[in-house]
Amino acid sequence: MKKFLAFLMLLAAPCQCSKAFAVEDTAPSLNFPVIGEAGAIANWSTESTPKGVYVLEVFYNACGACNENAQNVEDLFMARLSDKQVQVLAVSIDQKQSEYTKWFAKHGKTVPVLMDVNKTFLKAEKIRYVPTVIVKDCALENVYKHIGVWSEETKLEINEAIEAAKGRCPMDSVE
């Protein structure tokens, strides 16, 4: 009982917390290593590329449906290339560098490939099956999610979700 009362007194006491323990209201962000030419790894972040709307296709190299869907992702990337508010990105959960090399050999290096080696994004988004595409707005809220290869209807839904996400994001947030 004494421990319980001591605990209640701590709760009732004014907080003398230092700023190091204060919770600050910060904008959410996504951060990934991105693999580039000749296997070079750089960092990618929504903070450094604030373009408003993110289309993230989660895949791994040995997934047949992921390989089948790669051209759809490429087509969307090319269609949205001139739209400065939209980024189309592939998120790989492969753990070995050799898998990225194989992917690029099959599909080229047009679409940026982000590395989710520890499956942090996969777990945070509760993704159980791939390929999975997620459309996020500028606040990184999910606007759309689809599992599987994209049908023509899915492609329309993705584009509608992109436009809806753009509507949520003020144009002044785009560089």
Does residue 8 belong to any structural domain of this protein?
Answer: no
HEC readout, 63-130: CHHHHHHHHHHHHHHHHHCCCCCEEEEEEECCCCHHHHHHHHHHHCCCCCEEECCCCHHHHHCCCCCC
- Where residue 68 sits, what CATH number does that domain have? 3.40.30.10
State the pLDDT at residue 45: 85
Starting at the edge strand found earlier in the chain, the sheet holding 41-45 runs 41-45, 31-35, 113-115, 86-92, 53-59, 132-136, 142-147
Q: Report yes or no on 156 lying in a domain.
A: yes
Quick check: bond before 170 cis, omega within 30? no
Evaluate whether 167 touches 83 at the Cβ level (below 8 Å): no
Q: Is residue 19 part of a domain?
A: no
Determine, yes or no, domain membership for 4: no
- pLDDT tens readout for residues 143-157: 999 999 999 999 999
Domain span at residue 70 reads 29-167
Q: Is residue 11 part of a domain?
A: no
82 domain residue, yes or no: yes
Number of structural domains (the chain) is 1
Question: Is 99 domain-assigned?
Answer: yes
One digit per residue, the tens of pLDDT, for the chain of length 175 reads 444 333 333 333 333 333 332 333 445 688 888 876 566 678 888 886 665 899 999 999 999 999 999 999 999 999 999 998 999 999 999 999 889 889 999 998 899 999 998 999 999 999 999 999 999 999 999 999 999 999 999 999 999 999 999 999 876 644 4
